[in-house]
Amino acid sequence: MKETALARVRIVLVEPAGPLNVGSVARIMKNMGLKQLTLVQPHCDRLGDEARLMAVRGIDVLENSQVVETIPEALQGCQRIIATTGRSLSLPTHLETPKKGLPWLLTEGLNTALMFGPEDRGLNNEELSYAQRFVSIPSSSEYPSLNLAQAVAVCSYELYQLTQDNNEETEELLFEPASFEQLEGYYQHLEAVLLKIGYLYPHTAKARLEKFRRLHNKANLTTEEVALLRGILRQVDWVSQFIPSKEN
């Protein structure tokens, strides 16, 4: 059962620059039973000779990989998203080890994603805001930065080991988690209403919305909860038309 869940985990590489890294990631995924690879604006040829050389028998992972322009496109259909980061974030966020955080992705019936940033900078705060949880790989303070393919290897190994543990109980899914699209629709609705009632201002909306995203993502909202919140927003939007403007 868990191997089926493993096949539903999507590995997302944001702006990968090195074809050798991309090829190595494909090989690692093949080793560990991962099948879905998505690249966001890659700065290299994923099907070129260098990538194929490193992929070895993971060529099919490369050939079946998807290339998209934006992170929202890469995450379509996903209900649980973890981002990897090697740095402390400016917003209060709990960082987990792969062993602690990654089991959350292996829930039968859910489409999930594990996101990695560019080799030269990792994921920035705006990119991280699409995830609900965050994983950081512990490493020596003398040289803490891991190569992209190495980071994927560590996380892929942890995921695969979870499928081999026959004694571990699978998570019981009692409520349907909200999909990425449902959450994005809610965030856009929230921004529009908060701008309309004057809680947000256009020049600060982006920074404020990042904090709202983190707050809501930590709650792991269900489909029903998102519908409830959007119902509140619709009512606020309706009532606001009867409130006299300050200019009057």
pLDDT at residue 164, as a whole number: 83
Burial class for 38, CB neighbours closer than 10 Å (0-12, 13-18, 19+): buried
Asked if the structure places residue 169 within a domain, the reply is: no
Beta partners for residue 38, in sequence order = 12, 66
**Close Cβ partners of 221 (under 8 Å, ≥ 6 residues apart):** 177, 178, 183, 186, 229
Asked if the structure places residue 174 within a domain, the reply is: no
pLDDT at residue 245, as a whole number: 64
Q: Decide if pLDDT at 14 tops 60.
A: yes
Examine the domain organization and report whether 228 and 140 are in the same domain: no
Asked if 8 contacts 37 with a C-beta cutoff of 8 angstroms, the reply is: no
Domain count, the chain: 2
pLDDT at residue 90, as a whole number: 53
- Work out the angle at residue 144's Cα, subtended by the Cα atoms of residues 131 and 117, and round it to the nearest 5 degrees: 30
pLDDT at residue 167, as a whole number: 45
In degrees rounded to 5, what are phi and psi of residue 38?
A: -125, 135
Q: Decide if pLDDT at 171 tops 60.
A: no
Examine the domain organization and report whether 160 and 188 are in the same domain: no
- The enclosing domain of 186 has a CATH number of 1.10.8.590
Average pLDDT over residues 64-78: 96
pLDDT at residue 105, as a whole number: 94
Asked if the structure places residue 175 within a domain, the reply is: no
Examine the domain organization and report whether 98 and 203 are in the same domain: no
Average pLDDT over residues 47-75: 96
Whole-number average pLDDT of the chain: 89
Examine the domain organization and report whether 61 and 86 are in the same domain: yes
Asked if the structure places residue 96 within a domain, the reply is: yes
Instruction: Report the distance separating Cα 112 and Cα 135, nearest Å.
Output: 14
pLDDT at residue 246, as a whole number: 58
Q: What residues make up the domain containing 235?
A: 180-240
Instruction: Report the distance separating Cα 5 and Cα 108, nearest Å.
Output: 5
pLDDT at residue 88, as a whole number: 58
Look up the pTM and report it. Answer: 0.82
Average pLDDT over residues 124-143: 90
Instruction: Report the distance separating Cα 198 and Cα 221, nearest Å.
Output: 26
Closest residue by Cα to residue 158 from 84, 87, 61, 217: 84
Q: Decide if pLDDT at 147 tops 80.
A: yes
Examine the domain organization and report whether 97 and 20 are in the same domain: yes
Asked if the structure places residue 111 within a domain, the reply is: yes
Average pLDDT over residues 191-215: 90
Closest residue by Cα to residue 81 from 117, 131, 119: 131
Examine the domain organization and report whether 138 and 210 are in the same domain: no
Asked if the structure places residue 245 within a domain, the reply is: no
Examine the domain organization and report whether 77 and 16 are in the same domain: yes
